[in-house]
Structure 1
């Protein structure tokens, strides 16, 4: 039992730091440094952490896909292309309360597939869709829940930044991760859609919207975004391009779409690039902290403690999945706060 004290204390301290509101990356790295000093690990272990950070994070070319996908999503957001697609879907499906909710869900799915980042999707949906949902008769809790759920589809639906990171950490090909996430992502969208229709069954209020757009107008507003998503994901899953190459294709495609719509401005590109640097730095900070935490946690016997804890619930694959999934969801929630 004594050998489990340090790993449990490290996990508890890390969780307490995250719940206290400190940056996730700082908490992970700080816990690693503190428990090197508290345990019997030599201080030379700090040198090992530096080498692991360089090998696992800073020199990993797969992670180049992260800023490229982030840049793609930000260009679509800043240029107004995503807003244009959202308004087109709202007009096409927004004649009823259920149609308005479904349109928000569909656009959330498209934004998830075009950017892979949660922040851009949630902010854009909140600004554009929240007033429309309230006009349709949805209460504040349902409106906020639908926007948050639709926006956070970017965690699961490819090209998710989270899937790229997990693929690298688990040594699993990213195309396989993307292909495996499409089914669960669409299943989640269908479940959300059924819930929206059920919640809207008593709302007879009509949404203030313009006349239904013609099929040609709808194709013009939504077509380029859909083509971009299909090209990026299709090239990865079909093996025609690596995730890094496909991310470059996505970034170039986003710029090309702004040119097609006449929305290209250098100021927009510079602002998207600036925010890409900030967001990528936050992601890498979490990865660096996680690398340090994992190395120290394993060195003080944390892997054995986790294995014993999981096996206490049973060794069946479905049992392990049921136990691990709530832990993963909790980690995703706290990671989004970083």
Structure 2
């Protein structure tokens, strides 16, 4: 009898040793079955916590940090930038500003061979720098540009690939939601790795560091996309024909249309990115400026010209007030409660208060115009939905990671990475391959919040640069968005593409851009300075 009991205990201990791996497999099965991600994460965690308790291999003390962690996530000033950037992107989408950008750029480049593809890539980069939402960008450009490109004789595969690839630039070009989430997760992982190594005064990594690190690789990708499109236009002109110049209008008309449409989004991008990279504002503060700027741009587009109180004068006045506030903040110390203020700073504080009092005028006018156009409610609804999804997944991922660590998952991941052939390089390749495959089935939010906290500390403990690793992961996730047969960008495009465009053509059109992104990933691996140089110049 004692032998039987001993054998049973041995079997239970052996089974308990595999609970962390079984937990990951069970989660993947739930996600493949189509269950909501947030509830799959939390449900899997609770089920395996109970199993671990029954086997005696899980300690409930691992769940004590759960409530403080949720409170910390909700009050995290960095993550407050997420709803602000989402709001900015949704406003630009719903106010039809993306449509105007596409039309203006198509007229500007359409008379060149491959010009429509070039215009799609440039607009994709501009939308990426002002929205950061992949799905919205792909759907918008698919609805507006794809029918035009097909009507003008463009090869369906080339047109589809150009749109899908341009839409994924929102993953890597800041400000990007994935970079905000990655910045927070990488920062926590970097501090944990340093503490595990006995460094009790750990360095930190900010979202601004990751934004600066991703800027050059993002621009490199845009340049490689444009180079490929020019090569196709030269070698295969029938795949990307030019539009007759007389159909585009006179050169003067084209430039006037471009000057009407391009400056507001460009000014918004410069204000948001410039304030972050220049150290004038934190990402959260810049996100609020971006949301208000997008609101004012939308209000200016919709405002009736003759109305003084709720029309264009109100929007322009508030816009100028915000610009003046940013300039004052950059050159003067406007903090209150100090003694013996210099005369210049006293005058600056008074001017800032007056400018701040003017700002709500244009904001209320813009809200009124959006309400009249029946776009305010959809904007608020979509912003609330996306924000709720992100934070619900965040809560589920927090519970999942706590239970996974309680079952010994940290040690399993660390031993697996240490046993990988090739040392540090082999470990990085293995993690990138796993994230790439997971990108077929999971959204970038789930991968960022679930996988990165598990593999980040062991990788960073091997001596990797956190900024470089974060940018590598962002480009990797972007590549998985394009890869057949499960790439999310391809699904988005398939949903809005005309029936005559076959799924096979969409897939084949994306393949060259996948190789381009893999080449960019290889260049970044070979030359980490592409990601580390700019943060070093700006912040160190």
TM-score relative to the length of structure 2: 0.58
Seen in structure 2, the aligned counterparts of structure 1 residues 328 and 173 have a Cα distance that, compared at 3 Å, is: same
CA distance in 1, matches of 2:260, 2:213: 31
Residue matched to 1:249: 289
1:130 and 2:146 are equivalent in the alignment: yes
1:189 and 2:217 are equivalent in the alignment: no
1:293 and 2:329 are equivalent in the alignment: no
Residue matched to 1:19: 32
If asked which structure has higher relative contact order (CA below 8 Å, sep 6+), I would say 1
Seen in structure 2, the aligned counterparts of structure 1 residues 4 and 108 have a Cα distance that, compared at 3 Å, is: farther
CA distance in 1, matches of 2:401, 2:209: 24
Matches within 5 A, 1:1-338: 5-40=18-53, 41-42=58-59, 48-55=65-72, 57-171=73-187, 172-200=205-233, 201-204=235-238, 205-207=241-243, 210-211=248-249, 212=251, 213-262=253-302, 264-266=369-371, 267-314=374-421, 316-333=423-440, 334-335=442-443
For residue 303 of structure 1, report the CA deviation from its aligned partner. 1.5
Gaps of 5+ in 2: 1-13, 188-204, 304-368, 447-540
For residue 96 of structure 1, report the CA deviation from its aligned partner. 4.1
Moved more, 39-48 or 235-244: 39-48
For residue 240 of structure 1, report the CA deviation from its aligned partner. 0.5
For residue 269 of structure 1, report the CA deviation from its aligned partner. 2.8
TM-score relative to the length of structure 1: 0.91
For residue 85 of structure 1, report the CA deviation from its aligned partner. 0.9
* Contact 2:87/2:291, CA 8 A, preserved across alignment: yes
Q: What do residues 12-50 of structure 1 show as CA deviations (whole Å, max 9, x unaligned)?
A: 122222233322222222221111111132457555433
CA distance in 2, matches of 1:210, 1:28: 52
CA distance in 2, matches of 1:145, 1:47: 48
Give the CA RMSD over aligned residues.
2.4
Moved more, 252-261 or 102-111: 252-261
Gaps of 5+ in 1: none
CA distance in 1, matches of 2:223, 2:428: 22
CA distance in 2, matches of 1:153, 1:116: 8
Moved more, 2-11 or 208-217: 208-217
Q: What do residues 275-327 of structure 1 show as CA deviations (whole Å, max 9, x unaligned)?
A: 10011111112211211111111111111211222223346544433322233
Q: What do residues 57-91 of structure 1 show as CA deviations (whole Å, max 9, x unaligned)?
A: 22222211111111111111111112101110111
For residue 143 of structure 1, report the CA deviation from its aligned partner. 2.9
For residue 332 of structure 1, report the CA deviation from its aligned partner. 4.5
Moved more, 40-49 or 119-128: 40-49
For residue 170 of structure 1, report the CA deviation from its aligned partner. 2.0
**How many residue pairs are counted as aligned between the two chains?**
337
* Contact 2:59/2:406, CA 8 A, preserved across alignment: no
For residue 176 of structure 1, report the CA deviation from its aligned partner. 0.1
Seen in structure 2, the aligned counterparts of structure 1 residues 156 and 219 have a Cα distance that, compared at 3 Å, is: same
Larger gyration radius, structure 1 or structure 2: 2
CA distance in 1, matches of 2:105, 2:391: 35
CA distance in 2, matches of 1:241, 1:314: 44
* Contact 2:248/2:254, CA 8 A, preserved across alignment: no
Q: What do residues 122-167 of structure 1 show as CA deviations (whole Å, max 9, x unaligned)?
A: 1111111111232344443433332222112111111111111111
Seen in structure 2, the aligned counterparts of structure 1 residues 337 and 238 have a Cα distance that, compared at 3 Å, is: closer
* Contact 1:3/1:301, CA 8 A, preserved across alignment: no
Q: Secondary structure of 1:170's partner?
A: helix
